[in-house]
Structure 1
Amino acid sequence: MAMSPCQRYRARVRAEQALKNGEALNDSPVSLHVQLRELERDVQQLRSLEIIADRIDMKRDVLLPKWLPVAEQYLSGGKVFANPVFSYCVIWLFDVGSFDQALNWADIAIEQGQPTPENFKTSMAAFVADTVLAWAENQSELGHSIEPYFGRTFTNLREKWRLHEEIKAKWFKFAGLYLLRDDKGTPRATAVNDVEVLQLADSLLAQAHAFNNQSGVKTHRDRIASRIRSLTAE
C-alpha cells in the first residue's frame, strides 16, 4: 500500500534522524532516497575542501562513522543492488588507510559488480589495483614491508580480475623489480646472488612486457641475464 504524504514525511524525518544518530536505515524507498540525497550533500562538501589532509580527516572522522552502519546494514540484508553508499565506503576506507576492511569489502564490491561513483573513470577492480600499487611503491621507497596487501591484491589481479593490460604490466614490472632491490631499495640485478630469485624476477618482467611492450623492462632483463651468466659461470 502506498504511503500518504504525511506518512512519507514522517518516514523521511525518521530516516534523516537515524542518519544523524549514526543508526542504520531500513531499505524502504523513502530511506534509500534520503540516503542518496544526504550522501550527495556530503560528497559535495568533501569536494569543496581544497587540502587533501582536510579531506582525509573528514572521511575518517565524519563520513565513515556516519555511513559505515548504512553499508553494514546493506551487506547484512542479503540483497544485491548498486549501492553508492557501499562503494563510497570502500573508497574512503582505502583513502584513510584502513586496508584490511577496505580489501575485504572491495572483494565483495567487485564480486557484486558495484560501480564506482560517477566522477571515477575506472572500475572498482582498477581503482583497487591502482591504489594498492601506489601504496606499495611508496612503502617500498620508505623501506617498509608491502605485505600482506600487495600479495593479496596481486593474487586477485592474476587470478580473478579482468583488467586492462597496462595495469597488469605495471604490477608485474613492480613485482619483478621489487625482487632486485639492493640495501638502498634500488632495483639492481648485481645485488642478487640467488639464481632462482633472478629467474623469477625475469619471468615477472617478461610478463610485464607481454602485457605492454612499452613497459620499459628490456634493460633490466638484459642485466638479469648477464648476472645469471656470471653466477652460473662461477
Structure 2
Amino acid sequence: MSNMVTEILAFILTTSGWVLISSTIPTDYWKVSSLDGTVITTATFWSNLWKTCVTDSTGVSNCKDFPSMLALDGYIQACRGLMITAVCLGFFGAVFALVGMKCTKIGGSDQSKARTACIAGVNFILSGLCSLSACSLYAHRITSEFFNPMFVAQKYELGVALFIGWAGSILCILGGVILCFSIADSSTTSHTGYAYRGATSASNVSSHPRGHAQPMSQRPPPEYSSSSRVQHFDKNAYV
C-alpha cells in the first residue's frame, strides 16, 4: 500500500513538472528589459526562443520572428532542441508510468509493470535534465552579457519562463527518482523469502505398506556420529 501511494505521489510530481516544462516553450518572457522614462516605462523589450518583441507604454507589441533557424545563435538552437527533447521524454514517461503503476489494470505481470515504471522514471529524469540544461544555458548567456562591460547592445534580465522551467525540471527529476526507488523497494520486498528444509525427503519415505517391516538387505546402514561411536559396556565386557 505504501509503495502504491509513493508511485502516485511520484506520478503527480513528474506530471506537474512536465506540464510546467511544456508551458515554458510558448511563454513570452525568457528575457526582458525595460526603458524607463521620467514618469512611466516607455518600452519593454522581451524575447523567447521564437521571436523578439517590444511593447510600448500603451500596451501595443511589435514582434519580429527569427528569420532562419540556421542563422540563429548556437545557444538558441541548443535550447530549442533540449526543450523539445524534454517535452517528448516527459510525454513517453507519463505513458509508461500509467502502464507500470500498480494502481492501473494494464501492463501485464508485476515484473513487467515494475520494469515499465522504472523506464518511466528514467525518462522523467532525463526530461528534467534536458530542461534544466536549456534554462541554465539561456540564463548563462543573459548574465554573461549583462555583466560584460564590453557588451554595448541591449542588456536583458532573467524572464519568468526560466524560473518556471527550473521549477518543472526539479519536479521531474525528484518525481523520477522517487518512482525508481519505489519500484526498487517493491521488487526487493517481493523477492525476499524464507528457506524451508523438510524433516524428511521423499527418498527416505518407505514404500512398504504400514505394518510390514523393511527387509534387512534394503535397510540403510545406521549412521553413527563421533559421539555415538563410544559404546557403553558393563564392567564384565573386558574380561
- TM-score, normalised by the number of residues in structure 2: 0.25
Whose RCO is larger (CA < 8 A, sep 6+)? 2
Q: Which has the higher strand share?
A: 2
- TM-score, normalised by the number of residues in structure 1: 0.25
Q: Which has the higher helix share?
A: 1
